[in-house]
Chains A and B, each alone.
Chain A
Amino acid sequence: MLVEVKNLNKSYGDLKALDQVSFEAEKQEIICVLGPSGCGKTTLLQSLGGFVELDSGTIMIDGKSIEKLAAEDRPVATVFQSYGLFPHMSVLDNIIYGLKFRNYKKKAARQEGMVMVRTLGLEGHENKKVTQLSGGQQQRVALGRALIVRPKLLLLDEPFSNLDTRLRDSMRQELLRIRDIFGITMVFVTHDQEDAFSIADRIILMNHGRLEQIGGARDVYDQPASDFVLNFLGRTNLSDEGYVRPEAIRLVRGGRGARIVGKVFKGFYSQYTVEDDKGSYQVISLEDDFEVGQEVGLEMEIRSI
């Protein structure tokens, strides 16, 4: 295992930001930390980066423990949410800044920097000030600046939160491409489950400083380990017997026992509210021709956690 994190604890006064958090990551794996605001995900990222002092716990990278090292001495680089680019430097100078501390000659550093500029599709911008770039370009500079120091682990803090929806999609693809080119391991933090489902190999769900579940996208969605995970990912109909996802209920035309009481047209799908003698359900269906008042049958499998 490239990254081994064991029993991390961190409290701010009475608030437990990290509570016995442990996980591992393989080389080239993309791990996404998902959770509501205040769940401790940013603290987790900062403690990996060396910006938060842990109360206890160990962090091993490549078999060496790094939790006592200062941020600047860890084989870890971070891409910050607000990027933290140096506004008084050019794009190229931003990208090669870290090489200064790795005994590069200026010329070699610039060459290396230009390779990175090309890899990230920033040709022609290398001499601009970073303040002249668009949000997506700034994001690339922040990525390039972190990647050029060849960290073993790359941390990303809400990397797409400042980008619009379309740009977000292309940056997700970009991130996968970068993983393949550089063979790098990434841990990234987000509150957006679409980020997580799109690119993560495994997802960590956090709540109140605790790691609730870790697994592939399908695992955590189909087999949630706790009520929190169930409710945080997607929507759910809850009953005494268990739960059923809205898209897992099938409306049976000509069936009996349930009645449509509400309908919202959502574009490529429709959302129905259906009642039977046990209660009411939200149902998502691609068929949009059921009408309010219509009697239908329900096919579903109630699951339990």
Chain B
Amino acid sequence: MDGGRRLLNVTDRALRIFMAFLVLVFVLYPFIAVFLKALLKEGSFGFSEFLFIKEELYLLKNSLKSSFLTASISTIFAISLSLMTFFISKRQRSFLMFVLLLTMVSPPFIGSLTYIQLFGRNGFITKTILGLSINPYGMWGVVSVQTLGFTSATAMLLITYLDSFDGTMIEAARSLGAKTSSILVDIVLPLIRPAILVSFLLNFIRAMADFTSPMIIGGAFNTLATEGYLSIIAKGNSPRASAISLVLFLPSIVVFIIYSYYYKQQQRASKNLRRVSSRMEKSGLYYVLAFLAGFFILWLLIQYLAVFSAAITDRYQGKTFFTLQNIKDARPHIRDSFVRSIGYSLIGALVSSLLALVLSYYAFIRNFKYMKVIDFIANMPYIVPGTFFGLGYIFAFNKEPLKLTGTALIVILNLIFRQLPMSIRTVQTSMGQIEEETMASAKDLGAHNLYILKDLVFPLSASGLFLAFTNGFISSMTTVGSIIFLVYPSRKLATLVLFDLVNSGKYKVASVLSVFIILICLGTSLVSYAVYRRGHVSRS
């Protein structure tokens, strides 16, 4: 073996070990840290921190009740929206996807912000139009805001699932005499049941983990998530916060397992299917679906109209007028935080998509057994509540040798590893399309494994990398939960500034910031979608 070859082998192994090291330190260790904090008291194990479940049972009850409602209602809306794709034209479908995309690129509490502006004590709809002065704070406010915020993502998930649906079945049912309602009830709904279950569960754990909506519009309605947040921020009681996080974390493990199972099934099912764009007759159940979908879209559009108009109007003596004053007022809040947000998100997205590539390469192309374990660990942050992952970082990195708290690095690392599971999924999808023969022939020609990574896997996964990068950027730009405890007060990110503004009632300025975040993310995703499609067309 010559020296060059040996160097390559050493580099190959070092890269692998470094990957494993990163995942163990920045994913597994923080997880363990939360467990230890909750369970370990003065050197011995105990469950005393979990007594709150019994003593403050109402917290658990509130969480379960509101999350169940949110998950049910938003799943019903998501089903209606996704099934509409069987009835609508291509152009209508693009519009639907755009509206759904809009919520995906919005900061999470935009719903709460507009809810107050529309239905609050001085709300545009309740006060100005209906002349009412009602108390909008409480569980139903939380449920409605969460529903509005969560439905889009699950609708997208269901639409992707339906895209792999064998349209021949629908044509077959029709040719046997089945009308729309029968096709939906007998064929479509039973077949997408797994996806519906996953949607429900994902929404359920998202609702359980959401602390911003109950914080802003829950009023006296407290949940586990708000209590967990307040334990740290207001009371500085980190064992209690950890215990609460663990309780929120447990159901998400179940969801994760179910989700992984169906995700694999779906990937298998979507191979070798003939795409038939057969549309169904508009009859029967269609009208129910159309009503629900229409209602949801209208509601969503009103929300965005409200944010955009709030950003550029003001009211004085009962009159609404156009103004740029809000934007001027927002300037000091925007300047540093936006630069920082964009910078952190760019770095986070770039690094996380590259890590996803290297990790997937070792786990699924080179098939190292222990790298599969590392891959599993790297996927763990996918559905844990953001606050859980954030707390883990505080406990894990507040002491030597890895004292990172208060630095920009800890925030960026958190963004990277929080994003990693999504990046891995995206990268693996495009990596899976590389044929084994291609790599075998490179090897046959004498290429070292590292060259295969650099010359074949990297360029051939480019579209996946690009998508992972875009998604990573957008979700880092809009994230709150995982970084809220990590960011140094004088170095806030845009979403956190926004959260403070909403909490302190500065709705006008908050609207301006929301609009900016939406525009940046929307612009990014539209541009990248255009680039992605162009790349795809020119290749095929």
Contacts and interface: CB of A to CB of B under 8 A. Distances in A.
Interface of A: 49-51, 70-74, 76-78, 80-88, 97-98, 100-102, 142, 145-146, 149, 155
A84 B169 CA distance: 4
Interface in B129-176: 166, 168-176
Counting from the closest, the 3 A-B pairs by CB-CB distance are A84-B168, A98-B176, A84-B172
Contacts of B166: 82, 84
Contact of B191 (A70, A72, A87, A142): A87
Contacts of A146: 175-176
A49 B186 CA distance: 21
A101 B182 contact: yes
A86 B176 contact: no
Contacts of A97: 173, 176, 178, 186
B418 to A, nearest CB: 37
B329 interface: no
A71 B190 contact: no
A72 B178 contact: yes
B221 to A, nearest CB: 41
A49 B175 contact: yes
7 contacts: A73-B177, A82-B274, A84-B166, A84-B170, A85-B169, A102-B177, A142-B172
B169 to A, nearest CB: 5
Nearest to B180: A72
A77 B178 contact: no
A83 B175 contact: no
Contacts of A78: 171-172, 175
B183 to A, nearest CB: 9
Contacts of A101: 176-179, 182
Interface in B398-427: none
Interface of B is mostly: helix
A87 to B, nearest CB: 7
Contact of A100 (B168, B182, B274): B182
Nearest to B172: A84
Given A51-B278, A70-B281, A72-B179, A86 B174 contact: no
B171 A84 contact: yes
Contacts of B169: 84-86
Given A82-B166, A87-B191, A97-B186, A72 B177 contact: yes
A86 B187 contact: yes
A83 B168 contact: yes
Given A50-B175, A87-B191, A102-B177, 13 more contacts: A49-B171, A72-B176, A72-B177, A72-B179, A73-B177, A74-B175, A77-B176, A78-B171, A84-B171, A86-B172, A98-B176, A98-B177, A142-B172
Interface centre among B172, B182, B278 (most CB of A within 10 A): B172
A83 B276 CA distance: 13
Interface string B51-80: 000000000000000000000000000000
B190 A88 contact: yes
Contacts of B170: 84
B197 to A, nearest CB: 14
A50 B182 CA distance: 18
Interface centre among B174, B179, B187 (most CB of A within 10 A): B174
A151 to B, nearest CB: 8
Interface centre among A70, A71, A73, A86 (most CB of B within 10 A): A71
Contacts of A51: 171, 174, 278
B174 A71 contact: yes
B90 to A, nearest CB: 14
A286 B176 CA distance: 49
Contacts of B168: 80-84
A71 B175 contact: yes
B182 A80 contact: no
Contacts of A73: 177
Contacts of A142: 172
A288 to B, nearest CB: 40
B86 to A, nearest CB: 14
Contacts of B182: 100-101
Given A84-B166, A87-B191, A88-B191, A71 B179 contact: no
A51 B179 CA distance: 14
Contacts of A82: 166, 168, 274
A149 B168 CA distance: 18
A72 B176 CA distance: 6
A41 to B, nearest CB: 16
Contact of B174 (A50, A81, A155): A50
Contacts of B177: 72-73, 98, 101-102, 149
Contacts of B187: 86
Contacts of A88: 190-191
A76 B177 CA distance: 9
A144 to B, nearest CB: 11
B190 A80 contact: no
Given A86-B187, A97-B186, A100-B182, A145 B171 contact: no
